[in-house]
Amino acid sequence: MKSEDGFSLTELLIVLAIIGILIMIAVPLYQNVTTRAKTTEAKTQLAFLHTLQRVYHLEHDTYAADFTAIGFEHEKMITEGGRARYTIEIESAGPAGYVASATSIIDFDNDGVFNKWQVDEEGTVEQVIPD
Protein backbone atom coordinates (compact mmCIF):
# COMPACT_ATOMS: atom_id res chain seq x y z
CA MET A 1 0.00 0.00 0.00
CA LYS A 2 0.98 3.52 -0.67
CA SER A 3 1.49 5.78 2.39
CA GLU A 4 -0.19 9.14 2.25
CA ASP A 5 1.71 12.29 3.18
CA GLY A 6 -0.07 15.13 4.95
CA PHE A 7 -1.66 16.09 8.22
CA SER A 8 -4.70 14.58 9.81
CA LEU A 9 -7.68 16.71 10.77
CA THR A 10 -6.86 16.21 14.45
CA GLU A 11 -3.33 17.55 13.98
CA LEU A 12 -4.64 20.62 12.15
CA LEU A 13 -7.20 21.32 14.89
CA ILE A 14 -4.52 21.07 17.59
CA VAL A 15 -2.30 23.54 15.72
CA LEU A 16 -5.24 25.95 15.26
CA ALA A 17 -6.07 25.70 18.98
CA ILE A 18 -2.46 26.52 19.91
CA ILE A 19 -2.42 29.50 17.54
CA GLY A 20 -5.71 30.73 19.04
CA ILE A 21 -4.32 30.52 22.57
CA LEU A 22 -1.17 32.43 21.56
CA ILE A 23 -3.28 35.15 19.95
CA MET A 24 -5.44 35.44 23.09
CA ILE A 25 -2.27 36.00 25.13
CA ALA A 26 -0.54 38.37 22.68
CA VAL A 27 -3.37 40.79 21.81
CA PRO A 28 -3.90 42.24 25.35
CA LEU A 29 -0.13 42.61 25.78
CA TYR A 30 0.11 44.44 22.47
CA GLN A 31 -2.75 46.78 23.41
CA ASN A 32 -0.99 47.70 26.67
CA VAL A 33 2.22 48.49 24.79
CA THR A 34 0.43 50.75 22.30
CA THR A 35 -1.42 52.55 25.10
CA ARG A 36 1.87 53.19 26.92
CA ALA A 37 3.41 54.49 23.70
CA LYS A 38 0.51 56.89 23.21
CA THR A 39 0.79 58.20 26.79
CA THR A 40 4.44 59.04 26.09
CA GLU A 41 3.13 61.86 23.89
CA ALA A 42 1.40 63.46 26.89
CA LYS A 43 4.43 63.13 29.15
CA THR A 44 6.80 64.52 26.52
CA GLN A 45 4.59 67.51 25.69
CA LEU A 46 4.09 68.37 29.36
CA ALA A 47 7.82 68.09 30.09
CA PHE A 48 8.53 70.46 27.18
CA LEU A 49 5.84 72.85 28.40
CA HIS A 50 7.43 72.78 31.85
CA THR A 51 10.81 73.77 30.40
CA LEU A 52 9.22 76.72 28.60
CA GLN A 53 7.38 77.75 31.76
CA ARG A 54 10.61 77.69 33.81
CA VAL A 55 12.37 79.95 31.31
CA TYR A 56 9.39 82.32 31.28
CA HIS A 57 9.31 82.35 35.09
CA LEU A 58 13.01 83.23 35.30
CA GLU A 59 12.46 86.20 32.98
CA HIS A 60 9.10 87.48 34.31
CA ASP A 61 8.78 86.19 37.92
CA THR A 62 5.43 84.61 37.04
CA TYR A 63 4.21 81.65 35.02
CA ALA A 64 2.50 82.17 31.67
CA ALA A 65 -1.24 81.63 31.39
CA ASP A 66 -1.22 81.13 27.61
CA PHE A 67 0.88 79.34 25.03
CA THR A 68 1.81 82.35 22.92
CA ALA A 69 3.70 83.98 25.81
CA ILE A 70 6.03 80.98 26.10
CA GLY A 71 6.15 80.04 22.42
CA PHE A 72 4.44 76.67 22.76
CA GLU A 73 2.74 75.49 19.57
CA HIS A 74 0.29 72.63 19.88
CA GLU A 75 0.67 69.95 17.24
CA LYS A 76 -2.27 69.39 14.90
CA MET A 77 -4.81 66.92 16.32
CA ILE A 78 -5.28 63.46 14.84
CA THR A 79 -8.91 64.37 14.11
CA GLU A 80 -7.63 67.18 11.87
CA GLY A 81 -5.10 65.09 9.97
CA GLY A 82 -2.27 65.61 12.46
CA ARG A 83 -0.61 63.26 14.93
CA ALA A 84 -1.53 64.68 18.36
CA ARG A 85 -3.82 62.56 20.52
CA TYR A 86 -3.82 64.91 23.53
CA THR A 87 -5.12 68.43 24.00
CA ILE A 88 -2.70 70.49 26.08
CA GLU A 89 -3.97 73.34 28.23
CA ILE A 90 -2.74 75.58 31.03
CA GLU A 91 -5.35 75.22 33.75
CA SER A 92 -3.95 77.84 36.12
CA ALA A 93 -0.88 80.09 36.27
CA GLY A 94 0.47 82.82 38.49
CA PRO A 95 3.60 83.96 40.34
CA ALA A 96 3.57 80.99 42.73
CA GLY A 97 2.98 78.19 40.25
CA TYR A 98 1.02 76.69 37.42
CA VAL A 99 -0.84 73.55 36.45
CA ALA A 100 -1.03 72.30 32.87
CA SER A 101 -2.79 69.20 31.61
CA ALA A 102 -2.86 66.85 28.67
CA THR A 103 -6.22 65.18 28.04
CA SER A 104 -6.64 62.42 25.48
CA ILE A 105 -9.16 62.95 22.72
CA ILE A 106 -9.24 59.19 22.11
CA ASP A 107 -10.57 56.53 24.47
CA PHE A 108 -7.69 54.06 24.15
CA ASP A 109 -9.47 51.04 25.64
CA ASN A 110 -13.10 51.99 24.84
CA ASP A 111 -14.20 52.17 28.47
CA GLY A 112 -15.59 55.73 28.32
CA VAL A 113 -12.67 57.18 30.31
CA PHE A 114 -10.18 59.56 28.69
CA ASN A 115 -6.56 59.60 29.86
CA LYS A 116 -5.36 62.79 31.59
CA TRP A 117 -1.90 63.89 32.75
CA GLN A 118 -0.81 67.00 34.65
CA VAL A 119 2.40 68.90 35.31
CA ASP A 120 3.06 71.61 37.88
CA GLU A 121 5.77 74.17 38.62
CA GLU A 122 7.91 71.46 40.24
CA GLY A 123 7.99 69.56 36.94
CA THR A 124 6.08 66.64 38.39
CA VAL A 125 4.27 64.89 35.54
CA GLU A 126 1.59 62.58 36.87
CA GLN A 127 -1.33 60.65 35.50
CA VAL A 128 -4.54 62.06 36.97
CA ILE A 129 -7.06 59.87 35.13
CA PRO A 130 -5.77 56.52 33.86
CA ASP A 131 -7.23 54.90 30.75
The pLDDT value given to residue 27: 80
Question: Cα–Cα distance between 103 and 81 in angstroms, integer?
Answer: 18
Architecture of the domain spanning 9-129: 2-Layer Sandwich (3.30)
More confident of the two residues 11 and 36: 11
Buried b (16+ CB within 10 A) or exposed e, 58-71: eeeeebbeebebbe
User: What pLDDT score was predicted for residue 2?
Assistant: 62
pTM score, whole prediction: 0.73
Give the tens place of pLDDT for each residue, 67-119. 999 999 988 999 999 999 999 999 999 999 999 999 999 888 788 899 999 99
pLDDT digits (tens, 9 = 90+) for 57-70: 999 999 999 999 99
- Residue 1: the pLDDT is 56
Q: What is the mean pLDDT of the chain?
A: 90
